[in-house]
Amino acid sequence: MEWGNMVHTIPTAPTARDWINAWRVARSGDSDSILLTADGPILTTLLMNHKTGALTRLCWDMRDSNGGDAWQPSWSGIGETMVVEYRLARERPELSWQLPDHLHVRGKGLFTYPLGPVRADVAESLLYRLHVMGDEIIRLTLQNGFKERHIRSLVSGKTIQEALPVIARFTTTSNVHHTLAMVMAVEEAWGIQLSQQVQITRVLLAELERAYSHLGDLAMLAVSTGLPVPQMEYLHLKETVLRINFALFGHRYLRAAIVPGGVAARGWHQDVDPVGAAGMISDVLDQAERMQMGLERTSSFMDRLHGAGRVPPAAIQWGRPVGPVGRAAGLGLDVRRVRPYAAYSDFDLNTPMETDGDAYARFRIRVEELGESLRVVRRILGGWNPRELSPNQALEVLNGPPLQASGVGIVEAPRGLLGYWLRFDPKDGRIAHAAIATPSERNWAVVPDAMANGNILQDFPIIDASFALSVAGWDG
Amino acid sequence: MYYWHWLKNIVRRPETTGFPTDPDGIAKTMSNSDAIQTRARPVEGFLRRSLAIRHIDGGSCNGCESELGLLSSPDYDLTRYGFSFTPSPKHADILVITGVITDAMVPVIADVFEQMTAPKRVVALGSCAIDGWVFRGAPGVRGGLEGIVPVATRIAGCPPTPGDILRGLLATVDGVDPLSGLREIWP
């Protein structure tokens, strides 16, 4: 792993000024904060330059500060600190963090519309408080934490084999990427080398997951504008991809297909037909392109999406959204190109970019990425033979101690940049500390600003569906 | 706009599977044969087939939500058995609960169950809702619905396939698993 301009340590008992200076250094290098962790008294942020992919580490030594008048990230007002605040408020309750107190909106004619945690037909638990005046949304506050499973503390102290099933259930619709990021961190720490066949199979798994995840999100977007026909079509395509997953890897959601040192699958003792699957993927691609053309000629769909939920430029600078949300707003960070992992350096991926930052731009990004994923899947399946995969020899290595104490895995999940930074016990290789940065956790921060940007209450489901973020990823 | 879709439907067979009441090879391969356990008993003359389902996420990983969403897809089409999703607990007959039950969701689940009108039944969907699965022992995780609401049916699986969810819903009404014809009761 390449460390950028190495460790930048902030003195003990840092003040708000130290904090701001550190962030200035970070921002001057065009970096995005991706992980933050409070591991004992040392607070660490990992920064990634989004042009070169180089990593920098910022450390804060809190040993001599007594918490009370120490630095408080809220003072700095810099966007990336909000993840810091949420994370630290949970992990170090003894430090008195000032959580961003949501502005209390008051006024004549203002109505607060509480929605959640039980909402919609099938939806995750999250409480929206929509403050509306007439039809216009003046402000949105989100309250999460209903489904916190404390995965970060649950995996601490576990062996890798024990932690993998928990990590695979962080967010099921991106479980391949969660597993892949963790496995990459493990392989870095143990110095495990992989064959090209395994790397290509991992790209296949990752792109299958991106395809069905985007198909599900597009179905939600179609029904939010009151169009059940494309919703049903997209759901049928999603089910088709899930059945292909089952036929190839023995699980509809590809769970446990990635293991340290290789890939594993439950279905491989049966006859796997990659060529037949490639033909089905071709059909899905054709139909998805027809759906896109049909939707773009449907004026009721286009009218609702254009200009809805535009992320304001200040929020883009402040929150630096990642994934399709960021790429729709002109932030072109794609980890598959910046820090190619698995076999992505062999694939010349076309990363779509839009600059409008509205619901239509997010729809465009999703359909383009869906097409790109399906084309990659089809190309891999054309020459893929699971029987050529070499047997996995890494499992014995994992019983020994790691070569280095920590490992990093950064991947591009369907919803954006996903980072794992694991610290291992040097003696027995158990996980000592897990820092996990999920894309949903980061992107939810720009949703209130996008929602309260001249939209009306009727736009709410469309904007919500166009972001397509998971609450499980935020509440992990 | 979607004329090509209508034309396509003239020449194609419907996508909907007959599973679980009629045989379907693919859906049966994906399903887990002993996923269903039920305590439900049919209520003569009351609980028939126009049932509204309310779903609550009690701390899931969104896998069960993804599969529940696919129940409305043309491949499974839950309305052919008379089920439908409802946003209001007051209209609901079946409460489907997913996820490891977190402490924060316990009062919400109890409240929603109370708001439902009798006859009403609860389905614990997914291995997490049954016993916490891999999250057992995590801080703030209850792991199971004991002492919160009475569970009529358990659908095991991580996540259970849409076919298994349909089996579980039918078992919640009829008291028997339509696939095996058996009533499996947990101890």
Chain B residues whose CB is inside 8 A of the A146 CB are 59, 102, 104-105, 108
- Is residue A139 within 8 Å of residue A165, measured between CB atoms? no
Residues in A closer than 8 angstroms to B26, CB to CB, are: 243
* pLDDT band, residue A144 (cuts 50/70/90): confident
What pLDDT sits at residue B121? 93
Pick the residue of A115, A119, A122, A235 with the most B CBs within 10 A to test the interface with B by mutation: A122
| Contact between chains at A150 and B138 (C-beta distance less than 8 A) | yes
CB contact under 8 A, A236 and B75: yes
pLDDT tens digits for range B16-64: 888 888 878 888 888 888 888 888 888 777 777 789 999 999 999 999 9
Write out pLDDT tens, residues A209-255.
999 999 999 999 999 999 998 999 999 999 999 999 999 988 999 99
For residue A262, the model assigns a pLDDT of 86
Taking 90 as the threshold, does the pLDDT of residue B129 lie above it? yes
pLDDT band (50, 70, 90) for residue B6: confident
Terminal Cα-to-Cα distance of chain B (whole angstroms)? 55
Task: Give the closest-approach CA distance of A159 to chain B in angstroms.
Answer: 14
Higher pLDDT pick, B80 / A63: B80
Lowest average pLDDT, out of A49-53, A182-186, B94-98, B123-127, goes to A49-53
Look at the block and give the residue holding tokens 């967010």: A171
Query: Hey, are the CB atoms on B105 and A117 less than 8 Å from each other?
Result: yes
| Chain-chain contact of B104 with A145 (C-beta, under 8 angstroms) | yes
Contacts of B17 in chain A (CB under 8 A): none
Tell me the HSE value of A61 on the side-chain side, using a 13 A CA sphere: 8
H-helix or E-strand spanning residue A413: strand A406-413
Runs of H (alpha helix) within A383-459: 394-397, 439-443, 447-451
Cα B47 from Cα B170, distance rounded (Å): 11
Q: Work out the pLDDT band at A461, boundaries 50, 70, 90.
A: very high
Q: Give every CB contact of residue A106 below 8 A, 6+ residues apart in sequence.
A: none
A266 part of contact set with chain B, CB < 8 Å:
no
Which conformational region is residue A157 in: left (phi greater than 0), alpha (psi within -120 to 50 degrees), or beta?
Answer: left
> How far B17 CA lies from chain A's nearest CA (Å)?
12
Q: Report the chain A residue with the minimal C-alpha distance to residue B52.
A: A121
Q: Which residues contact A19 (CB under 8 A, 6 or more apart)?
A: A10, A71, A73, A75, A76, A81
Contact B141 A149 (CB under 8 A): yes
State percent of chain A over pLDDT 90: 49
Which of B15, B54, B138 is facing A154, going by the closest CB pair?
B138
Vertex A102: Cα angle to A16 and A449 (nearest 5): 95
The overall average pLDDT reported for chain A is 84
Q: Are A429 and A400 in contact (CB under 8 A)?
A: yes
- Give the separation between CA B52 and CA B19, rounded to whole angstroms: 20
Q: Look at residue B114 and tell me whether its pLDDT is greater than 70.
A: yes
pLDDT digits (tens, 9 = 90+) for A14-66: 555 666 666 666 666 677 777 777 776 677 778 888 788 888 777 766 655 55
HSE, side-chain direction, 13 A CA sphere, residue A104: 1
- Mean pLDDT score across all residues of chain B: 88
Would you state the pLDDT for residue A310?
A: 94
Contacts of B1 in chain A (CB under 8 A): 294, 297-298
**What is the C-alpha separation between B173 and B78, in angstroms, rounded?**
14
Q: Which of A153, A171, A242 sits opposite B61 (nearest CB)?
A: A171
Query: What are the tens digits of pLDDT across the range A170-215?
Result: 999 999 999 999 999 999 999 998 989 899 999 999 999 999 999 9
In the A/B pair of chains, how many CB contacts fall below 8 A?
Answer: 144
Taking residues A285-313, report their average pLDDT: 93
Taking only residues 123 to 162 of chain A, the set having a beta carbon closer than 8 angstroms to any beta carbon of chain B reads 123-125, 145-151, 153-154
| Cα–Cα distance, A121 to A128 (Å, whole number) | 15
State the Cα–Cα distance between residues A334 and A323, nearest whole angstrom.
Answer: 7
DSSP run (H or E) holding A467: helix A460-467
Per-residue exposure over A62-75, b if at least 16 CB sit within 10 Å of its own CB, e if not? beebeeeebbbbbe
Contact A475, A144 (CB under 8 A): yes
Q: Is the pLDDT of residue A97 over 70?
A: no
Cα distance between residue B55 and residue B123, in whole Å? 9
pLDDT band at A269 (very low <50, low <70, confident <90, very high): low
Bridging pattern class, strands B94-98 and A42-49: unpaired
ipTM entry: 0.94
Between the ranges A459-463, B11-15, B140-144, where is the mean pLDDT highest? Answer: A459-463
**Mean pLDDT confidence for B148-161:** 94
CA distances in angstroms from A30 to A43, A51, A52, A54, A74, listed in the order given: 21, 8, 9, 10, 22
- Whether the per-residue pLDDT at B125 is higher than 80: the answer is yes
Using the Cβ of A242 and the Cβ atoms of chain B, whether some distance falls under 8 Å is answered with yes
The predicted structure's pLDDT at residue A6: 42
| Closest of A307, A300, A285 to residue A228, by C-alpha | A300
